Amino acid sequence: MKIDVDSHGLRVTGKAWQVRACLRSLATHPLTLKEYLNRRLKTPKNRTLMRVR
């Protein structure tokens, strides 16, 4: 599974069950999508903001 983040949005690719699991975990995350994207774009590439199972 792969999560691509750029200034325009978020792209989740993978098998259907992986994408659904990722979206479920994002839905339960306390950050809004806008806050998540802003923080994700500011962090270095080697540091993860949220762990996806």
Q: Give pLDDT tens digits for 16-44.
A: 999 999 889 888 988 888 888 888 777 66
b/e sequence 19-45, b meaning 16+ C-beta within 10 Å: eebbeeebeeeeeeeeebbeebeeeee
For residue 47, being part of any structural domain is answered with no
For residue 48, being part of any structural domain is answered with no
Total domain count, the chain? 1
Domain of 30, in residue numbers: 2-42
For residue 50, being part of any structural domain is answered with no
CB atoms < 10 A from the CB of 12, how many? 17
Higher per-residue confidence, 18 vs 48? 18
- Nearest 5°: the CA angle 23, 42, 22 is 10
Task: Write out the two tokens for 5.
Answer: 């983040």
pTM of full prediction above 0.75? no
